[in-house]
Amino acid sequence: MTFAGLPYNTLVVAVGVAAVGFAAGVVGSLCVLRKRSLVGDAAAHATLVGVAGAFLATGRRDLATLLVGALAAAVAGLAALLLVRRFTRTRDDAATAIVIGVSFGLGIALVSGLPAWGYADSAGLEQFLLGHTAALTAADAVLLTGVACVATIVVSLLFKEATLVAFDAAFAAATGWPVLVIDAVIVGLVAVMVVAGLPAVGAVLVTALVVIPPVAARAWTDRMGTMLLLAGMMGLVAAVVGVVVSAAWPGLATGPLVVLAAAAIFGISFVAAPERGWIARRLRSVTRNA
């Protein structure tokens, strides 16, 4: 069965991954502007622990159960990051590296060790490293689309507050806005989108889906609303391109192709954006020196 020239299974995957790509671009814009990009990386690398833990606790491998476990682990990873920052003299970048390394190492140890410990049904959990779009069902696509819609709606409801905090947190705090609460919501949304992106691009690459589209979109505009929309569309396009190319060449994994498509969009933005692009900056430099 085909729709719009695409096989049904490919269309199901494209819908789910495109929804995640759009929401990741929107949520990631707040993350990038708030300078919280590495927070998403810490959450992403903790998710494997949650995937393994959810399987051990329930014995189930359905996507919803595994993603709930991944979200719990992502939140725990972020909590560990905050604790390391607060109670040690470790710098932010070093604390993030510690959480990433420890949580990722533990996750890989659990996922790779489960079959050897007699959990034969755990085979395949390692696919969350690079994504496993081939296993997505229509129900999974509906789940991912629902999560993406909820995240996008939350961003739209908090647009004014999140924008103020992203650009001037000190002013927001001085005028009585609950900066810590808004920050927590932004970080929570990042964790949700990192988890939702696991089936699409995997724990290793999911942060790129949250970071690259917003950075590319920032080159085209100074307006917050326009940036969020552009980042969402760029994430959606990258997702669809990755799925379609992967379907055309089955030997290529979808997740890396999605990230490469996003990187290509960033490359075009870096060169051709009207104000911040390399060509525009070069022309201004030549004009000034003429």
CB 213 within 8 Å of CB 25: yes
CB 213 within 8 Å of CB 206: no
| The pLDDT value given to residue 89 | 79
What's the mean per-residue pLDDT of the chain? 86
Q: Is 220 helix (H, G, I), strand (E, B) or coil?
A: coil
Strand partners, 6: 3
Report the distance separating Cα 279 and Cα 167, nearest Å. Answer: 27
Q: Which domain holds residue 257?
A: 2-289
For 239-258, how does the pLDDT look when each residue is reduced to its tens digit (9 = 90+)?
999 989 988 887 788 888 99
User: Of 242, 225, 265, 248, whose CA–CA distance to 20 is shortest?
Assistant: 242
Mean pLDDT for 50-60 is 87
CB 134 within 8 Å of CB 247: no
The number of angstroms, rounded, from the C-alpha of 105 to the middle of its chain's C-alpha atoms is 20
Q: Read off the pLDDT band of 40 (50, 70, 90).
A: confident
Report the distance separating Cα 207 and Cα 185, nearest Å. Answer: 18
Report the distance separating Cα 208 and Cα 183, nearest Å. Answer: 21
Q: Is 56 helix (H, G, I), strand (E, B) or coil?
A: helix
| The pLDDT value given to residue 236 | 95
CATH at residue 228: 1.10.3470.10
Q: Which of 127-131, 174-178, 211-215, 285-289 has the highest mean pLDDT?
A: 211-215
Give the residue with greater pLDDT, 284 vs 234: 234
Give Cβ neighbours of residue 32 (< 8 Å, ≥ 6 apart).
211, 214, 215, 218
| The pLDDT value given to residue 1 | 47
pLDDT of residue 203 exceeding 50:
yes
| The pLDDT value given to residue 4 | 53
pLDDT of residue 227 exceeding 90:
yes
Mean pLDDT for 218-227 is 91
pTM of the full predicted structure? 0.87
Count the domains in the chain: 1
Return the DSSP state at 252.
S
Q: What angle do CA 145, 198, 10 make, to 5 degrees?
A: 55
CB 202 within 8 Å of CB 128: yes
pLDDT of residue 2 exceeding 60:
no
Q: What is the rounded (10 degree) CA torsion for 21, 24, 26, 27?
A: 170
For 140-178, how does the pLDDT look when each residue is reduced to its tens digit (9 = 90+)?
889 889 999 999 999 999 888 888 888 878 888 888 888
For the chain, what percent of residues have pLDDT higher than 70? 96
DSSP H or E segment with residue 65 = helix 63-87
Q: Is 70 helix (H, G, I), strand (E, B) or coil?
A: helix
| The pLDDT value given to residue 180 | 84
For the chain, what percent of residues have pLDDT higher than 90? 27
Give the residue with greater pLDDT, 20 vs 40: 20
CB 148 within 8 Å of CB 23: yes
Q: Is the dihedral of CA 103, 62, 18, 146 positive or negative?
A: negative
